[in-house]
């Protein structure tokens, strides 16, 4: 546990990715293989179910510390995390227990069917043998909520640095079906449980936001113009009659879209295509808010397939019949993509439209009209460009529609995490609904450090109520909130959901009397 505790500490004190990668590599070098497997499992969501109820843990710590419940709740509200609150309140340990991570986890798994008294005896003995940081980790292992600032990509890059194995192959390996009890560490990294050759993806080619005048791009005839869509960028692979779908986040999402797998399976030949997975109904592209209902589902029900059908807008052809086409020009790849579609038809696979235009002056009108059919704007791709790795300035540009904005008042504030844990950085905003306020968005980006400090001081002086780590504040501070899209939503009290809300600016020149109404917010849906 000490090695794991030291790793977590090393990760939490830095926001530099390379430092996190080095800490992970050092950890993998010194711990047994079982600990390595369980770390990968914990960091990729393969956590054991909760063996002890949190209310029992709360009652045990009150019994040990003799604290009144109100003081415990105040401490919890200040800290914001139950596991950390317990770890901080417990007295210093009288014993020292040192066991590897995998033993702790195996014991917790075996603890689940035991009686409450047996659970209490085990947990109290553990608390009495662990230091504060180790207790925190132990409590998080019990709670099943293990959120650490390490993305899957960072974890994979650390494993790639350790092993020398291709990062994409490792990503496929660790998100596949496996259990720490049924595979060795080496077999996991080498993908013994998968068929990687058939599913191997290519790095995505990405675009920069347009940062120059259109006329500076040169001759219009040198560019291919398409609509930019707001979905899930996907790379669909068909090799040896097997179909795989990779997201831009380097996650294998094949099981989430069975209708796409079925449609691609019917196409002739082997290929790798790049496109956008979208919610599409009656030939119309739906909002991302609709597509979200389909994401991260282990099982896609028949009802959900009917309510939110998906389709694929295909942009590019990266491989055809085992030939890598990425060094071919955009124009050549497009021609071959059209040939592939000419001999194959599908109701849910669409060839992305190439927009015909004669001069740059037409594009502003096209861009502004894009939101009316749920497009994010325009993509400009140089016809001579290769399908390169990542971003390369000058070849692909994205020109999104201007964001929508509203004025809203802050009514809740919550402290951040990590280096921002002492300041209020997460805010909830509301608009008017007759004589009341109704929440419409949460946002935590868009302010300067100086503004965050100023707002935090204001929250400390103007907090009205406490709900755990959240503070209700006086409805006085007005902000302009920008967002990419808006839709009706039954899940939100306001009846609307905003896409990518963020703070555009603090409107010190406005009061709560000047904020938008829920009717004016909903009018944006009809207008766009």
The 10s digit of each residue's pLDDT in 16-26 is 889 999 999 99
User: Given a cut of 60, is residue 372 above it in pLDDT?
Assistant: yes
User: Given a cut of 60, is residue 418 above it in pLDDT?
Assistant: no
Residue 368's pLDDT is 87
Residue 517's pLDDT is 95
Residue 387's pLDDT is 94
The 10s digit of each residue's pLDDT in 147-162 is 677 788 889 899 999 9
Q: Which residues are known to be catalytic? A: 228
Number of H helices and number of E strands within the chain? 20, 22
Selection from 104, 111, 108 nearest residue 134 by Cα: 104
Q: What percent of the chain has pLDDT over 70?
A: 96
The answer to whether domain 2-143 and domain 404-527 are alike in fold is no
Q: Could you tell me how many residues make up the chain?
A: 528
The 10s digit of each residue's pLDDT in 341-363 is 888 778 899 999 999 999 999 99
Q: What percent of the chain has pLDDT over 90?
A: 57
User: Given a cut of 80, is residue 469 above it in pLDDT?
Assistant: no
Residue 420's pLDDT is 63
Tell me if 398 sits within 8 A of 315, measured CB to CB. Answer: no
User: Given a cut of 70, is residue 364 above it in pLDDT?
Assistant: yes
- CA distance readout (Å), 433 to 345, 404, 439, 440, 519: 49, 20, 10, 11, 8
Place of tokens 């030949």: 269
Q: What is the pTM of this model?
A: 0.64
Q: What is residue 344's three-state secondary structure?
A: coil
The 10s digit of each residue's pLDDT in 186-241 is 999 988 777 666 888 888 899 999 988 999 999 999 999 999 998 999 999 999 99
The listed CATH number (3.40.50.620, 3.40.50.300, 2.40.50.140, 2.70.180.20) that belongs to domain 404-527: 2.40.50.140
Domain ranges for the chain: 2-143, 205-400, 404-527
> Is 205-400 CATH 3.30.470.30?
yes
- State how far the Cα of 497 lies from the Cα of 485, in Å rounded to an integer: 8
Residue 279's pLDDT is 94
| CATH code of the region 2-143 | 1.10.3260.10
In the predicted model, what is the mean pLDDT of the chain? 89
Selection from 478, 465, 459, 461 nearest residue 410 by Cα: 478
DSSP string, 67-107: --HHHHHHHHHHH--HHHHHHHHSPPPSS-----HHHHHHH
- State how far the Cα of 103 lies from the Cα of 34, in Å rounded to an integer: 9
């Amino acid at each position: 546990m000490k090695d794991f505790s030291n790793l977590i500490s090393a990760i939490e004190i830095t926001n530099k990715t390379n430092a996190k990668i080095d800490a992970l590599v050092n950890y993998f070098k010194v711990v047994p293989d079982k600990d390595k497997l369980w770390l990968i499992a914990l960091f990729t969501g393969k956590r054991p179910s909760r063996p002890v109820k949190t209310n029992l843990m709360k009652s045990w710590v009150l019994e040990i510390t003799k604290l009144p419940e109100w003081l415990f709740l105040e401490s919890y509200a200040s800290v914001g995390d139950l596991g950390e609150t317990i770890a901080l309140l417990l007295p210093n340990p009288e014993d020292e227990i040192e066991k590897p991570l995998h033993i702790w986890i195996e014991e917790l798994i075996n603890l689940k069917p035991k009686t409450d008294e047996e659970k209490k005896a085990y947990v109290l003995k553990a608390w009495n043998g662990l230091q504060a940081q180790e207790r925190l980790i132990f409590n998080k292992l019990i709670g099943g909520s293990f959120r650490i600032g390490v993305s899957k990509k960072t974890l994979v890059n650390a494993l790639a640095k350790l092993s020398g194995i291709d990062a994409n192959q490792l990503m496929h390996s660790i998100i596949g079906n496996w259990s720490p009890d049924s595979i060795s560490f080496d077999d996991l990294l080498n993908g013994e449980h998968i068929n990687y050759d058939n599913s191997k993806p290519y790095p995505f080619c990405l675009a920069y936001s347009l940062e120059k005048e259109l006329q500076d791009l040169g001759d219009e005839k040198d560019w291919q113009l398409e609509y930019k869509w707001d979905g899930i960028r996907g790379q669909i692979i068909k090799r040896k009659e097997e179909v795989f779908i990779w997201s831009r986040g380097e996650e294998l999402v094949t099981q989430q879209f069975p209708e796409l797998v079925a449609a691609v399976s019917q196409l002739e030949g082997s290929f790798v295509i790049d496109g956008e997975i979208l919610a599409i109904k009656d030939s119309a592209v739906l909002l991302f808010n609709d597509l979200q209902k389909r994401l991260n589902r282990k099982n896609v029900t028949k009802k959900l397939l009917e309510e939110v059908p998906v389709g694929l807008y295909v942009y590019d052809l990266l491989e055809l019949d085992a030939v890598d086409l990425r060094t071919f020009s955009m124009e050549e790849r497009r021609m071959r993509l059209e040939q592939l579609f000419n001999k194959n038809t599908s109701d849910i696979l669409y060839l992305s439209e190439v927009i015909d235009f004669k001069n740059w002056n037409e594009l502003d009108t096209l861009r502004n009209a894009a939101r009316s059919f749920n497009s994010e704007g325009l993509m400009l791709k140089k016809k001579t460009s290769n399908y390169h790795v990542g971003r390369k300035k000058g070849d692909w540009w994205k020109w999104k529609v201007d964001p929508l904005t509203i004025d809203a008042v802050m009514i809740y504030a919550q402290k951040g995490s990590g280096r921002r844990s002492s300041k209020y950085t997460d805010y909830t905003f509301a608009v008017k609904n007759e004589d009341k306020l109704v929440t419409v968005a949460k946002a935590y980006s868009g302010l300067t450090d100086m503004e965050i400090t100023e707002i935090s001081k204001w929250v400390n002086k103007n907090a009205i109520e406490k709900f755990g780590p959240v503070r209700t504040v006086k409805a006085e501070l007005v902000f302009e909130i920008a967002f990419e899209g808006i839709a009706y939503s039954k899940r939100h009290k306001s009846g609307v959901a905003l896409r990518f809300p963020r703070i555009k600016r603090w409107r010190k020149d406005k009061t709560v009397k000047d904020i938008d109404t829920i009717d004016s917010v909903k009018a944006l849906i009809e207008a766009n």
